A and B are shown apart, each in its own frame.
Chain A
Amino acid sequence: MGLVAPSGAGKTLLLRSIVLLDPVQEGQIAFQGKPLRDWHLPSLRRQMVYLPQRATAFPGTVQDNLQQALQLKVNQAQGSGLAQDDAKQWRANSRILHWLQQLGRGQDFLQLQAQQLSGGETQILALLRALQIDPQVLLLDEPTASLDAETTDKVETLLQDWLQAGNRAFLLTSHDQQQIQRFTTRTLDLTELRP
């Protein structure tokens, strides 16, 4: 599903609220028929990963960044995606290598210092970091805003492939109407919700 609305209308706030990054003042949000309040939020956020418009990298290499996300307790406890051994002793598995290849990056991308990456490369890192924990829903806030046209195409292909793999969904905001149409079957215009 795509979200459209003018700047400042609350697209980002809505995405953040869906994973309860911000307290929700009124109304209720439910996931899989269960109100958010009843979820263990770290588990919920692992199934619905929110990717902000401006991605953040942590100190260390790209690989360290990917590893860090897998070492969180909730991932270890519920350990799908990568096996527990992989989380402790991270190695690039075939999925990651496949994604990297789709994005036109080699394995050497993993060894780059994450905080020295460009905005676009950081966005790629964030995408990989999210995909590897196997979410069911991706909340994408302008996912390609900082990417060049070529990388945008590649990211879109990657996301399409990911979506095809079944039982997965996007909630996407984009300034690019065509991108929303390419990706999504339904579009929600937030301005129409205003009383």
Chain B
Amino acid sequence: MNGYITIGYGQLALSALLILVNVGLSIGLKLGLERSLAIASLRMVVQLLLIGFVLEWLFTQENPFLILAISLVMASIAGIAAVNRTSRRFPGIYLNSLLSVLVASSLVTGLSVRGIIQVQPWFDPQYLIPLLGMVLGNTLTGISLGLDRFMEGVTTQRDQIETLLTLGATRWEAAHKQVQEAIRTGMIPTINSMMVMGLVSLPGMMTGQILAGANPIDAVRYQIVIIFMIASGAALGTFGVVLLAFRRLLSPDHQLRLDLLRPK
């Protein structure tokens, strides 16, 4: 069971026909999604093909600084994308998100690559880049969910927070419930996905390894390591970003600074 079938351009074109199901539904039910479908499909194909070429080139590189630089770019894009998914803004939100993504993903990926998988050399792009990518993707989701929830929470529960403040609560006493709720929200998707992992969902990475000819048991082991990485990355990132947002929106003077929030 070594090797795998290589997919040619003709086969790619054939697979694109599947999206006609969506287009058909959109036209038939007047969903108005045709344009979005076309753009999304095109973007997906172009972005993936490009990254394929980039990775092919990257895997031949042996310069750790170059690979670190690329990791940094990936993390920055994740940090920006996380904020773009939220519905409110405050000054410094992008910096908070970038910082949280960077710290969470570098800690988790670094520890795993060095300590658990023990890749030699540690910057071997064949391991570092895909692992980092998966951690980033999930950290991004956690951060955007947590951040959005926190901003939503302090906005809708403004009266409660301010009432506590007027009674002499510190900013933490007044808003720790909203912090908890936000971090919980950021962590739940990973927990949910772990619950049904292997039963309902076969993770994409594992499926990919199996398709590429890996022994299923080996693929499963990788998947387990990665799920734990993803879970801790998302938790750490959410924790960081919510705490930073808390420090921003609840000032050292124990004020709720909703005046800093702007709609997207």
Q: Which residues in A have some Cβ–Cβ distance to B below 8 Å? A: 19-23, 41-43, 45-46, 49-52, 54-56, 58, 69, 72-75, 126, 129-130, 133
Contacts and interface: CB of A to CB of B under 8 A. Distances in A.
Interface of B: 159-160, 162-170, 173, 251, 253-257, 259
Given A22-B255, A23-B251, 14 more contacts: A20-B254, A21-B256, A22-B259, A42-B165, A42-B168, A42-B254, A45-B165, A49-B166, A54-B159, A56-B160, A58-B160, A73-B170, A74-B170, A126-B163
Chain A binding surface, main DSSP class: mixed
Given A21-B162, A52-B162, A72-B173, A46 B168 contact: yes
B234 to A, nearest CB: 29
Contacts of B254: 20, 41-42, 45
Contact of B166 (A50, A54, A75): A50
Q: Which 4 A-B pairs have the closest CB atoms?
A: A46-B168, A56-B159, A74-B168, A56-B163
A56 B158 CA distance: 10
A66 to B, nearest CB: 10
B255 A133 contact: no
A103 to B, nearest CB: 20
A49 B166 CA distance: 6
Contact of B167 (A20, A22, A49): A49
22 contacts: A21-B255, A22-B255, A22-B259, A23-B251, A23-B253, A23-B255, A42-B169, A45-B165, A45-B254, A46-B168, A51-B166, A52-B162, A52-B163, A52-B166, A56-B160, A58-B160, A58-B163, A72-B167, A73-B170, A75-B168, A126-B163, A129-B167
B161 to A, nearest CB: 9
B173 A73 contact: yes
Contacts, number: 65
Contact of B168 (A20, A45, A54, A55): A45
B159 A21 contact: no
Q: Choose among B162, B168, B254, B259 the residue with the greatest number of A CB atoms under 10 Å from its CB.
A: B168
A20 B255 contact: yes
Contacts of A49: 166-167
Contact of A21 (B166, B168, B170, B173): B166
